[in-house]
Amino acid sequence: MSEEATLKTGRKQIRLAGFGGQGIVLSGMILGKAITIFEDGNAVMTQSYGPEARGGACSADVVISDERINYPRVTVPDVLVVMAEEAARTYGPNTADDAIVLVNERLVKTIPDKPGLTVYTIPATDIAEELGRAIVANIVMLGFITATADVVSYEAMKQAILDSIPAGTEELNLAAFQAGFDHGAIELMNEE
């Protein structure tokens, strides 16, 4: 039966996972905003988290489709971002066969390695620390997604970030976005 195929048609599924406090839900929201508001596309974002204020596995699901989105959760991610070890263990095994997996290098040991996957390890936390604050590692990752995953344009993502962050942090966040984007662009060039 062709259900699996039908399930995937016209749908692109992105899962961002990490621990509470890493800005996972915010990243999902920014990605959703970039697609829906700044590209006038169609996307639905949901989140999953634990009762802890910080720590604990946490994920944000973004479903993109040209058609009406019924089921709002990601079933099999086409793009999986893992920002922390626990998330990698929980969500790593479940991806599409040809998924792109983005791994936050320093905080993840269990790197998904199924054949068919395209895996990038990115020093997102290190880049963020170099820029001044580890807290923008999520924005570095958004830059990397923009460069490598072909889900959203540079301009839309930039607008969405500016639209979602606290006033006064524009410079830091844009630097983080740019650093992530550049890193992704270089990775792509190296591949070719």
Binding site for other proteins (CB under 8 A): 1-3, 6-7, 29, 32-33, 36-37, 40, 42-51, 69-73, 75
Q: Which two tokens stand for residue 190?
A: 């190296």
Place of tokens 């630097």: 175
What's the min distance (Å) between Cβ of 22 and other proteins? 16
Query: Helices (H) and strands (E) in the chain — how many of each?
Result: 7, 6
Find out whether 96 and 14 touch, Cβ atoms under 8 Å. no
Which residue, 8 or 106, has its beta carbon nearer to other proteins?
8
**Closer CB to other proteins, residue 164 or residue 178?**
164
Our CB check for other proteins shows the closer of 16 and 131 to be 16
Question: Which tokens go with 114?
Answer: 């199924």
Q: Are 107 and 129 in contact (CB under 8 A)?
A: no
* C-alpha Rg value of the chain to the nearest Å: 15
Q: What is the nearest approach in angstroms of other proteins to the Cβ of residue 190? A: 35
Q: 47 or 169, CB closer to other proteins?
A: 47
Tokens found for residue 161: 């970030």
CB of 71 to other proteins, least distance (A): 4
Q: Nearest approach, Cβ of 157 to other proteins (angstroms)?
A: 14
